[in-house]
Structure 1
Amino acid sequence: MRLVTFQFIDRQPRVGVVIGDTIIDLAAAAPLVFDDPPPPPWSLLDVLEGIPEGMGIDGAAEIVAAVIDQIGGGHDEGLATAQYGPLTIGGVEMLIPLDEARLLAPLPRPSSLRCFEASEQHMAALARLHGGGVPYYWYERPLFTFGNHIAIFGPDATIPLPRTVAFDYELEVACVIGRAGRDIHPDEANEYIAGYLLLNDWTARDVQREELLAGFAFSKSKDAATSVGPWLATPDELDEYALDGGHFNLTLIARVNGVEQSRGNLRDLTYAFAQMIAAASQDCTLSPGDMIACGGVGGSLLEATDGQGPWIEPDDLVELEASGLGLLRNRIVA
């Protein structure tokens, strides 16, 4: 499934599932499956936390199956509002035309944001910012810093340029935790993943260099914005790209103003998401809605220009794209 947070006529954020050119409003269609469900709107975090009782990703899949059955059991990729017309329960539409909705960040406010650096290539580029090499302890276990989980932007949102002369994108993928766990073993960690999404970890490279030289973790350099979306893809959406060891043969592309600047592949990560989850959950409880980013994959302008720029400027359009994960597009504004 491709789970989204969207706005329609009443502008209230709602959670749905994209199938073809249609969004199924989960809360509106819930009476097909659940007795006396909470009224809409719901959030994606509600779904992950099991509201209503027994919801979760499996409950969302049941609702989707019930809607498809309601309209005659057609193939899900052929689902289209134009074909079936408006379907309502209690006056609330269950099927929303995708081109009439506005997609927001799938998780507008994740429970937390952990930013790993799981790519040796990107870690080496960061090390060059302060004239050093990749520290030996990076090879011993996955390392992360906390990100600003409040400054989350969705697809097609404008990104205000922070106070920097070296603004950069980072081409990343993140996973979202679907159930609580502590001290999770790597062999079991994939069972805690609700889904994956594209993530742009916007970074002020000049500020980041100062933080590195001072011996601090990344903070103000990544404080202004993080973009995610357009949807949260459940793990089955990436089955065709899955490799042994929890990696994916999935190509990621970044473009600036229509020109490709970076290309990478998730198979090149040193650490798989299962290893990141295990590290994050050591002596700590992970909760539904926690977001775990893998770090730059195949690049940013830091790698593409060897740290010299040119950097992102006002009115630039930055696009991240990957099969199964969609297209995440943002324009920079002064």
Structure 2
Amino acid sequence: MRIATYLYEGRRHCGVVDGTVVRALPDGTSPLDALGARPVGDAVPLSDVHLLPPLQPPTVRDFVTFEEHVEGVRRSVDGTAGVPERWYAAPTFYFTNPYAVYGPHDDIPMPPGSSVLDFELEVAAVIGKEGRDLTPEQARDHIVGYTVFNDWSARDLQSAEMKVGLGPCKGKDTATTLGPYLVTADELERYRDADGFLRLALTAEVNGEVVGEDLLSNMSWTFEEMVSYASRGTWVRPGDVLGSGTCGNGGCLAELWGVRGRQEPAPLKPGDTVTLTVEGIGSVSNTVVTGPDPVPVPSARRRPRERP
């Protein structure tokens, strides 16, 4: 099942996509409840609706599970070759901003103060029921579906912020694209390989030109293992989104910059359109637009360190 959240004739709906049409589910049905609901609306052409993010997640964890991506971006961001040995120990992630989620065809504003914008081609798993301290085997039953995930990244801000030893901060939290639909987990089982990975073709285009291609099965951890790690000592709950991390072989511009030693292709600018396609899920296509100027914040004051 493919579940869409959309605007039609001024109203927000959740519906089931069937080919080129969508049929609304009963009012009040959430994307996570759609498996148990039956469409009640007439078929509406997808061309007549405005697709919204398929869900509004309470939390967004973004992992980094592609070794090739780590190699390239590390070289681009801080000039260091190779992969940190610690990366191999566990599927590392950070929490990104659930208040900055955009739909599959929304315009994306330039992050304030940035001139080096990048995309990141990812797939996200969505949690359907809560759990904690899950084994990977248990975790499979907690994944309701998958969606395309674009982690928009201001590389200049990211590089500067992470010198502090924290982050990413404003380098990452102004935009994340989800869409076009929430595809239920059963739809993708036919792509699962013998090792438990989903073998889905991934393609990234900028202004119609292919800049990256990879397979999702090149991840070093499965989504079930990622969910297990995320639930260690805490909860995963319905609607939580877990991004795969950026794929390799051109899954973002920064990886290509690291490999080539120069910013080619150039950083994204207003007017550029990024289209990300995932086999079995669909495509998201967003155009970059001019964003707001940064609100000034003073630099740190050197305080006298007085004591009471």
Query: Which of the five TM-score ranges fits, normalised by the shorter chain?
Result: 0.7 to 0.9
**SS of the residue 1:220 aligns to:** coil
TM-score (norm 2): 0.87
Q: 1:188 deviation in Å?
A: 1.6
Deviant stretches of 4+, over 4 Å: none
1:24 is the counterpart of 2:23? yes
Percent identity for Structure 1 against Structure 2: 38
Whether contact under 8 Å (2:102, 2:177) holds in the other structure is yes
- Quick check: 1:300 aligned with 2:252? yes
The answer as to 2:93 corresponding to 1:137 is no
Gap runs ≥5 in structure 1: 28-39, 49-55, 65-88
User: For residues 72 and 96 of structure 2, what CA distance do their matches in structure 1 show?
Assistant: 20
Which secondary structure does the structure 2 equivalent of 1:187 belong to?
helix
Paired residues of 2:72 and 2:256 also in contact (CA < 8 A): no
> 1:4 maps to which residue?
4
Alignment TM-score, normalising by the size of structure 1: 0.81
Residue pairs, 1:225-264, within 5 angstroms: 225-264=175-214
Residue identity opposite 2:268 in structure 1: I
How many residue pairs align between the two structures?
Answer: 281
**In structure 2, C-alpha distance between the alignment counterparts of 1:245 and 1:191, rounded to whole Å:** 17
Tell me, in whole angstroms, the C-alpha distance in 2 between the residues paired with 1:106 and 1:58: 14
Code of the residue aligned with 1:314 in structure 2: it is P
SS in 2 for 1:246: coil
User: Per-residue deviation at 1:217?
Assistant: 2.5
Match of 2:101 in 1: 152
Q: Is 1:312 equivalent to 2:268 in the alignment?
A: yes
In 2, Cα distance between equivalents of 1:238 and 1:43: 21
- In the alignment, which residue of structure 2 is the partner of 1:31? none
Query: Which segments of 5 or more consecutive residues in structure 2 lack a partner in the other structure?
Result: 291-308
1:59 maps to 2:59: no
In 2, the alpha carbon distance for the partners of 1:308 and 1:212 equals 21
The 3-state SS of whatever aligns with 2:171 is helix
Distance 1:236 1:331 in 2: 32
State the AA in 2 paired with 1:7.
Answer: L
Residue 211 of structure 1 corresponds to: 161
Instruction: Output the CA distance in 1 between the equivalents of 2:155 and 2:163.
Output: 12
* CA shift for structure 1 position 57: 4.7
The code of the aligned residue for 1:99 comes to S
1:262, 1:304 within 8 Å by CA — same for their partners in 2? no
Distance in 1, matches of 2:71 and 2:170, equals: 21
Secondary structure class of the residue paired with 1:209: helix
Distance 1:222 1:267 in 2: 25
